[in-house]
Structure 1
Amino acid sequence: MRALLTILLACIMAIVPFSSSALAFSKDINVRLVNYIGNQVDVHFNVVGSYQVENSSVKLVPGERYSVAALGSKVTLFNSGKKLMEASEIVLKPTIKGSIDSQVLLENMEYIGAVKFINENGYVRPINTVDLVSYLKGVVPSEMPQSWGYYSGMEALKAQAVAARTYVLRRNATTIDDGQSHQVYRGYDWWLSTSDAVMETQGKVLKYGNEYVNALYSSSNGGSTLTNKNSWGTTNLPYFDTKKDPYDAKISPYSDWSFTLNKEQIDTSKLDLSKPDSWWDDTYEVDRSITDSIISRLQSKGTISKYNEIKVVRFNSMSFDSPPSNANDVLNGTFTFEYFVKTPTDYVMEDGKIKTYKKTIEDTSYNIRFMIGTSTMRSPVIKNVEQVNGEFIVKGSGFGHGIGMSQYGAYQMSKDGKHYNEILDFYYPGTKLVREINKEDYFSRLKGQDRYGTSVAISQHAWENKSEAVVLGRGDLSIDSLTGSVLAKKYDSPLLLTYTNKIPDNVRDEIQRLSPKKIFLLGGTSAISDKVKAELEKAYPNAQVNRISGTDRFATAIEVAEQINNTTEVILTTGDESSPDALSIASHAASNQIPILYTNPNNLPEDVETFLKNNKVNKVTIIGGKSRISTNLEKYIDSIVNQVERVSGPDRYATSIEIAEKMNYRVSQLFFAQGNVFIDALPASAYAAAVDAPVILTYKDQVPAPVQNYLKTFNNVPDTYILGGPGAVSDQVVSEVESLILN
């Protein structure tokens, strides 16, 4: 009972105010791509989805091969050998902010978010900019096997997520490397188990007093935890301790390891030492990988001139301190070796023979590990060194620096039924687990002075640069525009609203900013007049203005569907202009490029039936209850297609929740719209599709019960957007949504 009390006191959960001195959770992280890219004078990439080059007219075509080269002090972009542009930096940005269906494929690695290329000392250095959550989703599976989550290791993954979050926040910097010097990051290499671990621990960090802890971790400590003083010789941090780790000892595959080092590396008895040029180029050390690593490390530190060639002749001695017994012991080691030197001009000779140098290295075992090679000497914990038959046999345990959390130990604790806060308490004793959430980072309105201004606000938020196309819908009647979200997503374009006979000034300005090559008008002349079409053609002569319309709303929806390259599946909803069912399904339909068609409650319009038959549609998903689309009509549709599914609830609010739950959204973002006057939400559907988020309907002044129940199931805090001003969704509803999610 006392042990349990200690755990509860040390790892007490709290929601604390956001600290202004800390790196904001919503702030972007700039990741220098070094670990997998290395130093290259040119780097190749291609894009998936829609990307743009910032401040440039260069168009990136998905699938085409591009390269960036470091030339002079700048970087130059090429496509198949053709120079496209040159600048001090080249920045690739997704057309839609936060889009997860657009990636940069860089040397066989996938990255979302922005990728900037700079010239770094004559090499191309890519820098990936992502938000903290996306960064952690790329770190956790790179540092701990995602498969552990399916074999009783989910709590270990959560502990890893907290440690990784705390580590980066302690740095209080927005730039970090992608390798072991910081945290390994593999970009958009996301897995369900590790992403869940990140989201289920959202905002949770370890603190000692008011400071983030240095949440260090390694693969295995070999059965005993180390302090930073044990391993590095630095002033000991109070939350690290030297103690037995029965969990690591039980599971770690690195409890015992060894490597062998020959004393005699070069048999000089067979060499003419007076004529080194006769054998130098053909003579190598027995353990060349180790000797090369030692010399390279010493040359990088300036201990040996980097301009000289070195051959290690023999190792005279090697010893290491025994594993530590307390927190203040420093693990040190020493070894002595002899070597020959060749300068850039000649061999170093003495008394007519090549000179033999001798050097003794005295350093921490941790630093010697990096000299010998981290895959050879796996940790600074050396159990003993034996000398047998002219060899040093070095035996040790653990993998990594051994400080803080053992990842294998955490896995064993999880398998033993320990909660992640117990894991963190064991490896970081005396710390507290707190949750830091600043709601201003997660809740915001997208609004304008009116519905037209709101459509502009959504466009400016999500489309920070240009757009290849713009889809324009009628602002006072949504029926024609509702199906246009699928078309907008096809071109990764915003959906803006207009008057029937006039383009609002702010919408005109937004189209000018976006510089589209295509403008689509949804509906006939009664929806958007020829006067508006002519006005657009005159104002934007470089844009092709196309009208998509039919004889009525049913036919217009079919015309939109004809623009989509997918006729195997169709979503069918009521043609009643007062129903928001099409809006609720719009982001899913747009994301998956599934056309939305309209029907009457009891009979299928002839044009719609012809479309289903001619295109051999396989599946129809009906959205809405039986009062919207009758059971008899459902049965008839089932007779002409292979599969029919209905998604509905008792009312429009419940239906929007049914859609959110059944369509497998990522729900790292949510959009809220009023269920009665929902035109404000329409322009957000293409944005919601790009970030794979549902659109949830609410009352103006109250959160419906089905929505309340849905929000209570959340164990993470999604980025939440309220569509429209207080006249559409009241501040009271916003506060209630915040409370339901945060609590």
Structure 2
Amino acid sequence: MIQISPSPATRRAPLVALMTVAAIAIGSVFATPLTASATPATTPVPAGTPDVGLTYCAPAIVELGSAVDFDASDSEQTSGFTVTISEGSLPDGLTIRPVTGLAYRISGTAAKLGAFRYTMHFTNGIHSGDRTCAVDVVPVGSKVERIAGDDRYATGLAVAGRVDPDTAPLVYVASGENYPDALSAAAIAAQRGAPLILTPRSSIPESVYGAIYKYAPRDIVVVGGTNAVSTSVETLLRAIPSVSSITRIGGADRFEVSRNLITHPTFGAKPSAAVSVVTGNRFPDALSATPPSGRDTIPVLLVNGDASSLTANEKSLLTTREVTSATLFGGEDTVSTGIANDIKKIAATVNRIDGSDRFVTSANVAKSAYPGHIDTVYLATGENFPDALSGGVLAAIEKAPILLTRRTCMASEVADEVRALTPKRIVLLGGQNVLDATLENLPVCS
């Protein structure tokens, strides 16, 4: 866990120490001895030539919006030298400029989150040198933490422990090997304050079984048919002493499972005149849709987004529930125009939230559903589904968005949304094989 303190005097002591060591290490690796630019590299460096240590790196950690103003060079030893940024870039909002006495200063206000690498090159026309530096711009006062386990099932249990750390009268169980059934269940589980536990199809890991046993649930809902969660898993769950009922909600395909989950009289969606519509053919947009839908007790309906129209059963569901408002997640290549037009014949208000890719869509969902400042933001990989499936329930209960990211960096639109939300906590979902350790410094993809 990385704690970022807002106090200027003690600001991020562990983090600064860590990043300063990293910056020094980077400088040691990349800093090159001065060479005469017009002579071969094997020629000895002339005596008295200033060394690369006379240019100075910016602080390793800078808070977003904070002012930076420091000497980038030694005014005496680099007299007559010109200092420029030859590779990479300074953080947005910072510039390097000469000042009286031929020193150079880096100053300005850090205006964009991210990990920045830059090389300062200084030369007097005869001799030259380089120093490579690293600086990370992080949110003001944010705490970056991680919820993770050794695999998707362990991560799911770690998340479930945040949903309900003790007992849980109701538990939803779905496949961790495929996403559709859990996508349908996540928003409903959040509505009912119940953990969503992932399991392999044909067996249940001891750790997963032990966690469910500890919850001592009265009711367990198994989501999906036996091709998703086998009868042998169901049999094991029935053996838990506290369990009085096991309810399987399945269907002929993922779309029928979604409808049956929504309409189940006991464990389905609570009454709502709104619906969230996502494609069941791909997972990313549904991951973004789960937190705001679960927060607002809105069911998530999976449809065949590539189809040219709603099915008769889908039209019947919307009509029976007297839906007046629908939000489509993803562009027309994700949920077709034909489906949108059919929904408009039933619901008075139909909105669509999309973006140029899954990452931008997640940022646009957060922008639409979470105006203003919030306490927590969750970051999950947009390249796979399991960690965000479990995390969607927790995010919904905590009224927090899930923003999708690459393994090692955030899209600029995602970083902009993190900045706009100014969260107190930024939580990474999944281990370092899913979200790299470098992501804890919130780098922005180049």
User: Aligned to 1:16, what secondary structure does the other structure show?
Assistant: coil
Q: Which runs of 5+ in 2 are unaligned?
A: 1-6, 15-63, 67-138
Q: What is the RMSD of the two structures over their aligned residues, measured on CA atoms?
A: 2.6
For residues 371-429 of structure 1, give each alpha carbon's deviation from its aligned partner in whole angstroms, at most 9, with x where no partner exists: xxxxxxxxxxxxxxxxxxxxxxxxxxxxxxxxxxxxxxxxxxxxxxxxxxxxxxxxxxx
Read off the aligned partner of 1:589 and give its amino acid letter: S
Separation in 2, partners of 1:452, 1:722: 16
In the TM superposition, residue 582 of structure 1 has moved relative to its aligned partner by 1.0
> Which of 627, 632, 635 is the aligned partner of 2:333?
627
User: Aligned to 1:539, what secondary structure does the other structure show?
Assistant: coil
Separation in 1, partners of 2:192, 2:140: 35
TM-score, length basis structure 1: 0.40
Match of 2:361 in 1: 655
> Which of 296, 300, 304 is the aligned partner of 1:592?
296
Match of 1:377 in 2: none
Q: How does 1:555-566 map to 2 (within 5 A)?
A: 555-562=256-263, 563-566=268-271
> Which of 421, 429, 437 is the aligned partner of 1:723?
429
Q: Is the 8 A contact 2:277 2:302 kept in 1?
A: yes
Match of 2:420 in 1: 713
Separation in 1, partners of 2:382, 2:369: 20
How has the CA–CA distance of structure 1 residues 19 and 725 changed in structure 2, closer, same or farther, with 3 Å as cutoff?
closer
Please say if 1:682 is aligned against 2:389: yes
Separation in 1, partners of 2:350, 2:140: 43
In the TM superposition, residue 452 of structure 1 has moved relative to its aligned partner by 0.3
In the TM superposition, residue 437 of structure 1 has moved relative to its aligned partner by 7.5
Match of 1:550 in 2: 251
Match of 1:518 in 2: 219
Q: Is the 8 A contact 1:670 1:694 kept in 2?
A: yes
Match of 2:169 in 1: 468
In the TM superposition, residue 643 of structure 1 has moved relative to its aligned partner by 1.5
How has the CA–CA distance of structure 1 residues 479 and 708 changed in structure 2, closer, same or farther, with 3 Å as cutoff?
same
Separation in 1, partners of 2:247, 2:339: 34
Q: How does 1:262-341 map to 2 (within 5 A)?
A: none
Larger Rg: 1 or 2? 1
Q: Is the 8 A contact 1:654 1:707 kept in 2?
A: yes
Match of 2:131 in 1: none
In the TM superposition, residue 487 of structure 1 has moved relative to its aligned partner by 2.0
How has the CA–CA distance of structure 1 residues 542 and 713 changed in structure 2, closer, same or farther, with 3 Å as cutoff?
closer
User: Aligned to 2:345, what secondary structure does the other structure show?
Assistant: helix
Separation in 2, partners of 1:654, 1:15: 37
> Which of 550, 572, 575 is the aligned partner of 2:277?
572
Flag the structure with more relative contact order, 1 or 2, with Cα contacts below 8 A and sequence separation at least 6: 2
In the TM superposition, residue 632 of structure 1 has moved relative to its aligned partner by 3.0
Q: Is the 8 A contact 1:571 1:589 kept in 2?
A: yes
Separation in 1, partners of 2:320, 2:169: 31
Separation in 1, partners of 2:391, 2:212: 16
> Which of 206, 215, 220 is the aligned partner of 1:505?
206
Separation in 2, partners of 1:650, 1:629: 14
Deviating more after overlay: 584-593 vs 629-638:
629-638
In the TM superposition, residue 621 of structure 1 has moved relative to its aligned partner by 0.8
Q: Is the 8 A contact 1:584 1:694 kept in 2?
A: yes
Please say if 1:612 is aligned against 2:318: yes
Match of 1:484 in 2: 185
Q: Is the 8 A contact 1:554 1:605 kept in 2?
A: no
Q: Is the 8 A contact 2:370 2:401 kept in 1?
A: no
Q: How does 1:118-267 map to 2 (within 5 A)?
A: none
> Which of 379, 390, 396 is the aligned partner of 1:672?
379
Please say if 1:735 is aligned against 2:441: yes
Please say if 1:581 is aligned against 2:311: no
Read off the aligned partner of 1:702 and give its amino acid letter: C
For residues 640-686 of structure 1, give each alpha carbon's deviation from its aligned partner in whole angstroms, at most 9, with x where no partner exists: 22111111111111111111011126521011110011211111111
Match of 1:530 in 2: 231
Q: Is the 8 A contact 1:18 1:437 kept in 2?
A: no
Read off the aligned partner of 1:455 and give its amino acid letter: G
TM-score, length basis structure 2: 0.65
In the TM superposition, residue 541 of structure 1 has moved relative to its aligned partner by 5.0
Q: Is the 8 A contact 1:570 1:595 kept in 2?
A: yes
In the TM superposition, residue 485 of structure 1 has moved relative to its aligned partner by 1.4
> Which of 686, 695, 704 is the aligned partner of 2:411?
704
> Which of 130, 133, 144 is the aligned partner of 1:443?
144
Separation in 1, partners of 2:331, 2:215: 39
User: Aligned to 2:168, what secondary structure does the other structure show?
Assistant: coil
Q: Is the 8 A contact 1:17 1:437 kept in 2?
A: no
Match of 1:69 in 2: none
| Identity %, equivalent residues | 26
Question: How many residues of Structure 1 are paired with residues of Structure 2 in the alignment?
Answer: 312
Separation in 2, partners of 1:550, 1:494: 22
User: Aligned to 2:187, what secondary structure does the other structure show?
Assistant: helix
In the TM superposition, residue 636 of structure 1 has moved relative to its aligned partner by 2.4
In the TM superposition, residue 15 of structure 1 has moved relative to its aligned partner by 6.1
How has the CA–CA distance of structure 1 residues 662 and 725 changed in structure 2, closer, same or farther, with 3 Å as cutoff?
same
> Which of 303, 309, 312 is the aligned partner of 1:603?
309
Read off the aligned partner of 2:217 and give its amino acid letter: P
User: Aligned to 1:733, what secondary structure does the other structure show?
Assistant: helix
How has the CA–CA distance of structure 1 residues 510 and 14 changed in structure 2, closer, same or farther, with 3 Å as cutoff?
same
Read off the aligned partner of 2:342 and give its amino acid letter: Y
